[in-house]
Amino acid sequence: MAESIVRAHAEGAGFDGLVEWDSAGTGPWHEGDGADRRAIAVLTDHGYEQDHVARQFQPAWFAELDLVIALDSGHLRELRALAPTPRDAAKVRLLRDYDPDADPDAPGGLDVPDPYFGGTDGFEEVLEMIEAASGGLLDAVAEALDSTSVASATPGEERV
């Protein structure tokens, strides 16, 4: 869902051809499968397109990536543990770090919950969280595209 939503917002903001968006999971559980039918329904209801096929994140990808977005703190830890270098580990950020209204002290912190074992309402909630963070993420990407260095990037300064 995050890839579809952020990609659509990025296209609307004029990032076509400037930034590559992609998604992968931290494990092989659904590798080769399409998106969950509930995710597809919610995305479609909100005007988003999707053509997702699940795959597992590979540590070798860090060399080509400027930013890796995790949706929850567990995935953040897993992805940072996969990173071959400390610089690569620093590329991993939580999506909701980019939501100015997200409360890290609220129940669930900055995690986007996995709606898989619930109903459609959970997918709607996730969509809202992703949309809320998309603007801040795109602002950070725009700033990074304008900057000359990604090496010292902090939230609000990285390039995807």
Active site residues: 114
| Predicted confidence band of residue 156 (pLDDT cuts 50, 70, 90) | very low
Please give the torsion angle defined by the CA atoms of residues 10, 57, 144 and 73, in that order, rounded to the nearest 10 degrees.
90
Q: Average per-residue pLDDT in the chain?
A: 91
Q: How far apart are CA 93 and CA 160, in angstroms?
A: 11
User: Could you tell me the pTM of the whole model?
Assistant: 0.88
Please give the torsion angle defined by the CA atoms of residues 90, 95, 98 and 100, in that order, rounded to the nearest 10 degrees.
-140
Domain boundaries, the chain: 2-146
Give the number of other Cβ atoms within 10 Å of residue 144's Cβ: 20
What percentage of the chain carries pLDDT values higher than 90? 84
| Predicted confidence band of residue 149 (pLDDT cuts 50, 70, 90) | very low
Lowest mean pLDDT among 29-38, 123-132, 146-155: 146-155
**pLDDT above 90 for 159:** no
The predicted model gives 61-88 an average pLDDT of 97
Predicted local distance difference test score (pLDDT) of residue 121: 97
Going 108 to 113 to 116 to 122, the CA torsion angle's sign is: positive
| Predicted confidence band of residue 123 (pLDDT cuts 50, 70, 90) | very high
DSSP 38: H
**Helix, strand and coil in the chain, % to nearest 5:** 45, 5, 50
Q: What is the pLDDT of residues 93-115, one digit of tens each?
A: 999 999 999 999 999 999 999 99
Q: Which CATH superfamily, name and number, covers 2-146?
A: Response regulator (3.40.50.2300)
Residue given tokens 């400390």 in the structure block:
86
Predicted local distance difference test score (pLDDT) of residue 72: 97
